[in-house]
DNA sequence: AAGTGGTCTAGACCACCGA
DNA sequence: CGGTGGTCTAGACCACTTG
């Protein structure tokens, strides 16, 4: 119960109806897969107008309990609102709070083709691979060694990679007018490889954070992959998950 | 443009109104901070009923462009819908895909009091610290060394920590009837400490993933803190961020 | 053709806020 | 007090799905 439960607080009728329906679903009087009564029937059942029924039913829809289809009806989809924990960022840069104040320095570029250390779906294709260091602002010490895998179709990105403040995903979006629809991020740890260690100023084999990010378009197509190695103590990744207060 | 753009598809009037309003905000005819016209005025302006205005305005509200207050009016809050990327899990266990098939083996318990390696707000208080190993299913090799910081008020948790499949946050929730409202997760890398290495079967100083999770209640109060060390190659953390298709 | 949800109108009363 | 958004009614027409 909320701390500000009010005794005299009359609930709107659509709330009463919504709660009654939720309870009926929760307690199994309507099973998942069942059809709910029609709006007209619910209106009669609860003695309210169609507007009120629709407002109530809208709540259930938003809570994901039901789906509706014109000409068909209303189907129960879930027994209870799942408690959902959500981390939302309004912009991908917020994923990595620092990203915007960083710059990239490209070391060299080559092609990779079937790297077995990569996931199967990535290793299948041939990628342009940009090796680079990431710096924070004016600092002379890099925070990460980055390998950027760029789909051959997006090769023109390479030329603009070193502009300050750019991010891969923004380049893909602006240069090619495509939206990044999904980002997959896999985090693990690693021993800093001998190839990368001197650039980072650490000993080979010392601990490093490995962050792989896969930028995907709307279908399944992979636009770019960023493989980052962060030496110890130069970088922390923080995520917050907040409880959704959707339907109570 | 969507692939199924239909020419003959007449838009609902509330959509037309909503888009007009969004464009007006986007282009600065209504500035952030300004009040929008009242519902009555908008109805007259666009020649639609109040229902249609409200349905339109509801879209802007859901998109986060405006906020409304009865007795006051409608305030413009943002110039454009920010693209939001969301990662949603229906249950905290999904945050760490493995957690449910794991078991904990407690090594020993002590008290910590002002550990300087911890964030200031955590270090301030006195915690019951449970040292443990986390195993996957029947495997004999632990995947992590865990230090569980338990608020003295929740000390009774300790006794049930070793039950298979339990998770800290569930114990807090069930034993004390409190909901975890927020989880903060900080990821970095570390050299596996000498104290932990033998238990994990690795050499001290080898790379390890450090995952700290802070479980918070509704206020600011911290319930528990989990400090995990995962040796290399035993564990990956994956997160997906999907583009919200909310308001177009 | 009958019935569904989706849209829309023209009214109405209310709680709340600011002057 | 007058005006706001929040709630609610009783109608209506429509596009769509199903038999």
| pLDDT (tens digit per residue) in B140-182 | 889 899 999 988 877 888 888 777 667 777 777 777 667 777 8
Nearest nt to the CA of B57 via C1' is D5
pLDDT of the residue at B4: 29
Nearest nt to the CA of B10 via C1' is D15
Whether chain B has a CB inside 8 Å of the CB on A185: the answer is yes
Percent of chain B with pLDDT strictly greater than 70: 83
Position with higher pLDDT, B151 vs B41: B41
Torsion of CA A42, A47, A53, A56, to 10 degrees: -100
Show which of residues 206-235 on chain A sit within 8 Å of chain B, judged by CB atoms. Answer: 206-209, 230, 232-233, 235
> What is the per-residue pLDDT across A45-55, written as a single tens digit (0 to 9) for each?
999 999 999 99
Architecture of domain B92-231: 3-Layer(aba) Sandwich (3.40)
Position with higher pLDDT, B114 vs B100: B114
- Distances in Å between the alpha carbon of A208 and those of A117, A197, B109, B190? 16, 10, 30, 7
Helix (H, G, I), strand (E, B) or coil at A191: strand
Q: How many CB pairs under 8 A join A and B?
A: 136
Torsion of CA B163, B168, B171, B177, to 10 degrees: 180
> What is the per-residue pLDDT across B176-214, written as a single tens digit (0 to 9) for each?
667 777 888 888 899 999 999 999 999 999 999 999 888
Structure tokens at A103: 């710059």
Q: Of A136, A119, A169, whose CA–CA distance to A236 is shortest?
A: A136
Of chain B residues 24-53, which have a beta carbon within 7 Å of strand C?
A: 47-52
- Reported confidence tier of residue A91, pLDDT bands at 50, 70, 90: low
Position with higher pLDDT, A40 vs A169: A40
Q: Do domains A13-76 and A92-231 have the same CATH topology?
A: no
pLDDT at B6 over 50: no
pLDDT of the residue at A6: 31
Q: What is the mean pLDDT of residues B8-25?
A: 82
pLDDT of the residue at B191: 94
Nearest nt to the CA of B74 via C1' is D5
pLDDT of the residue at A137: 66
pLDDT of the residue at B1: 31
Position with higher pLDDT, B146 vs B89: B146
pLDDT of the residue at A248: 28
Domain definitions of chain A by residue range: 13-76, 92-231
Q: Of A40, A35, A36, A37, whose CA–CA distance to A51 is shortest?
A: A40
Whether chain B has a CB inside 8 Å of the CB on A80: the answer is no
CATH topology of domain B13-76: Arc Repressor Mutant, subunit A (1.10.10)
pLDDT of the residue at A247: 31
Question: Measured between CB atoms, which of A85, A92, A179 is closest to B89?
Answer: A85
Task: From the CA of A103 to the C1' of C1: give the distance in Å.
Answer: 68
With distances taken from each CA to the C1' atom of nucleotide D5, the closest residue turns out to be B70
């Amino acid at each position: 119960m909320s701390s500000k439960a009010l005794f005299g607080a009359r609930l709107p009728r659509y709330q009463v109806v919504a709660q009654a329906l939720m309870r009926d679903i929760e307690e199994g009087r309507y099973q998942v897969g069942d059809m709910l009564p029609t709006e007209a029937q619910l209106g009669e059942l609860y003695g309210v107008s169609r507007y009120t029924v629709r407002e109530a039913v809208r709540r259930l829809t938003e809570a994901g309990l039901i789906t509706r289809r014109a000409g068909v009806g209303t189907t129960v989809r879930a027994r209870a609102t799942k408690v959902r924990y959500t981390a939302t960022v309004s912009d991908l840069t917020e994923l990595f709070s620092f990203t915007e104040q960083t710059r990239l320095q490209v070391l060299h570029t080559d092609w990779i083709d079937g790297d077995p250390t990569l996931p199967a779906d990535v290793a299948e294709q041939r990628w342009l691979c940009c090796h680079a260091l990431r710096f924070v602002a004016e600092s002379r010490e890099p925070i990460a060694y980055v390998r950027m895998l760029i789909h051959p179709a997006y090769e023109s990105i390479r030329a603009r990679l070193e502009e300050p403040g750019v991010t891969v995903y923004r380049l893909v979006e602006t240069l090619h007018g495509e939206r990044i629809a999904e980002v997959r991020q896999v985090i693990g740890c690693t021993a800093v490889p001998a190839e990368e260690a001197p650039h980072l100023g650490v000993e080979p084999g010392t601990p490093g954070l490995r962050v792989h990010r896969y930028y995907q378009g709307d279908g399944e197509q992979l636009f770019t992959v960023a493989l980052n190695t962060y030496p110890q103590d130069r970088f922390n990744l923080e995520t917050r998950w907040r409880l959704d207060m959707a339907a109570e």
